[in-house]
A and B are shown apart, each in its own frame.
Chain A
Amino acid sequence: MFPRLQIKSSASALHLDASPLTLQHFSSLPKAKWSNIQISGNGKSFALGDLFNISSGPSQTLVFSGDLSKTHYIGCHWQSEELIVEGDAGSFLGEFMSGGRILVKGNAGHHVSCCQKAGTIIVQGNVGDYAAGASMRSRIGMRGGLLIVEGHCGKWLAMRMRRGTVVIHGQTAAAVATDMLAGTLILCGAVEKPISCGMRRGTIVFSSALQRPKEIPEDGQLWLFNEVLDRQGKQISRVGGFTSPDAVELSMLPLLFSEIGAHLPDTWRPYSSRVYRSLGDRSVSGYGELIWLFPKSQ
Chain B
Amino acid sequence: MRINEVEIEDTFAEAFPMVATRVIITAADRFWARRAAESMTGFATSVIGCACEAGIEREIEPEQTPDQRPGIAVLLFSFSAQELEKQLVRRVGQCVLTCPSTSVFSGLDSDKQISMGKKLRYFGDGYQISKKVGERRYWRIPVMDGEFVCEQSTGCTKAIGGGNFLVLSESLSGALRACESAMQAMRFVRSVIMPFPGGVARSGSKVGSKYKGLRASTNDAYCPSLRSITSSKLPPGVHAALEVVIDGLNQDDVKRAMRTGIQAACEAGTRYGLRCVTGGNYGGKLGPYHFHLREILQ
Minimal beta-carbon separation of A235 from chain B (angstroms): 31
Kindly list chain A residues whose C-beta atoms are within 8 Å of the C-beta of B131: 184, 203, 252, 255-256
Q: How far is the CA of A144 from the CA of B136 in the complex (A)?
A: 12
Minimal beta-carbon separation of B159 from chain A (angstroms): 28
Do A287 and B133 contact each other (CB < 8 Å), given the known contacts A249-B145, A251-B149, A254-B68? no
Q: How far is the CA of A293 from the CA of B127 in the complex (A)?
A: 22
Interface presence of A215 (CB below 8 A): no
A255 and B146: CB pair below 8 A? Answer: no
Do A255 and B67 contact each other (CB < 8 Å), given the known contacts A249-B145, A249-B146, A250-B146? yes
Minimal beta-carbon separation of B297 from chain A (angstroms): 43
Minimal beta-carbon separation of A273 from chain B (angstroms): 9
Q: How far is the CA of A254 from the CA of B133 in the complex (A)?
A: 11
Minimal beta-carbon separation of A255 from chain B (angstroms): 5
Kindly list chain B residues whose C-beta atoms are within 8 Å of the C-beta of A255: 66-67, 131, 133, 138, 149
Instruction: Bits for B104-145, please: 1 = Cβ < 8 Å to A, else 0.
Output: 000000000000000000000001011111100010100001
Report how many A-B pairs have Cβ atoms within 8 Å.
Answer: 49
Q: How far is the CA of A190 from the CA of B125 in the complex (A)?
A: 35
Minimal beta-carbon separation of A293 from chain B (angstroms): 15
A251 and B132: CB pair below 8 A? Answer: no
Interface presence of B79 (CB below 8 A): no
Kindly list chain B residues whose C-beta atoms are within 8 Å of the C-beta of A289: 129
Interface presence of B103 (CB below 8 A): yes
Kindly list chain A residues whose C-beta atoms are within 8 Å of the C-beta of B130: 182
Interface presence of A201 (CB below 8 A): yes
Kindly list chain A residues whose C-beta atoms are within 8 Å of the C-beta of B69: 254
Kindly list chain B residues whose C-beta atoms are within 8 Å of the C-beta of A184: 131
Interface presence of B220 (CB below 8 A): no
Do A258 and B66 contact each other (CB < 8 Å), given the known contacts A252-B147, A252-B149? yes
Q: How far is the CA of A254 from the CA of B140 in the complex (A)?
A: 13
Minimal beta-carbon separation of A205 from chain B (angstroms): 12
A287 and B129: CB pair below 8 A? Answer: yes
Q: How far is the CA of A105 from the CA of B134 in the complex (A)?
A: 24
A254 and B67: CB pair below 8 A? Answer: yes
Which chain A residue has the least Cβ–Cβ distance from B130?
A: A182
Interface presence of A259 (CB below 8 A): yes
Do A287 and B146 contact each other (CB < 8 Å), given the known contacts A254-B67, A255-B67? no
**22 A-B pairs whose Cβ atoms sit less than 8 Å apart in the complex:** A165-B133, A184-B131, A248-B147, A249-B145, A249-B147, A250-B140, A251-B67, A251-B101, A251-B140, A252-B138, A252-B140, A252-B147, A252-B149, A254-B69, A255-B131, A255-B133, A255-B149, A258-B67, A258-B133, A259-B133, A259-B134, A287-B127
